[in-house]
Chain A
């Protein structure tokens, strides 16, 4: 009856150097988002960020991250995300920017969107494939996308997508 509602922001972390993407971890992203919110919205923003904010999922291979915000102030905190210019992990500063792809009310809807988005990306990459083997791999990945085997679908999508992008 009474439910704590949150908004989940599906963001993509864009870095210029793909090998640096693997160094990311969720603590670092959390610190970067909190710092940006504190800079942009002051004490008021930092307080709103401290209630139910966390990084729910991070995929270092594709750079997809789920951020959870409370429903009543997610727009204000969302407006601070474009001000993130770099993420600091393990002593290195990685210049990057966050691109928000989808806002959902639950993790499940975000997952469904992510699977559709990954299939669209794979469809776009299919004409660019150079060898028959790559085409077979991409086709297999597209056909196996489904929500029931959700964890495997995630890993398959991300690995094959990662492979395609590295080979190109």
Chain B
């Protein structure tokens, strides 16, 4: 069975719909900042996403359970996992506009319901 939905910068776009997949949603995101040399640690990234959830969805949204499974500090790319409400997480990532007075954007590269990481991670 094919596993992933891929979205690439070029015009190739593939969409596969699965039923009976796992209850988790996996998101591969990249943070793009105005100043390319800023680095965030994994904890800072998670806190930043929580502040975005808090401004859009309040205290209840900030309590949303999500995990940062893997984080690459050099390219600022992360794998996130949420239990069931992908809409809340994705919409708050979309509306997060500034990190410490710098303009920023979250690019969502890949969304899937099955774990895209290899088994040993």
Give me the interface of A with B, judged by CB distance under 8 Å. Answer: 38-45
Quick one: CB contact mask for B37-62 with A, threshold 8 Å, 1 for yes? 00000000000000001111111110
Alpha-carbon separation in the docked complex, A28 to B15 (Å) = 51
Partner of A43 from the list B56, B59, B60 (CB cut-off 8 Å) is B56
The CA of A42 and the CA of B53, in the complex, are separated in Å by: 8
> Which residues of B approach A to under 8 Å, CB–CB?
53-61
Most buried by B among A39, A40, A41, A44: A44
Residues of B within 8 A of A40 (CB): 58-60
- Please report the C-alpha to C-alpha distance between residue A38 and residue B60 in the assembled complex, in whole angstroms: 11
Chain A residues with Cβ below 8 Å from B57 are 41-45
Q: Which residues of B contact A38 (CB under 8 A)?
A: 58
| Apart from the given pairs A42-B55, A42-B57, A43-B58, 7 other A-B contacts in the complex at a CB distance below 8 Å | A39-B59, A40-B59, A41-B59, A43-B57, A44-B57, A44-B61, A45-B58
Q: Can you list the 8 inter-chain pairs with the closest CB atoms, starting with the nearest?
A: A42-B58, A41-B58, A42-B57, A40-B58, A42-B56, A43-B56, A40-B59, A44-B57
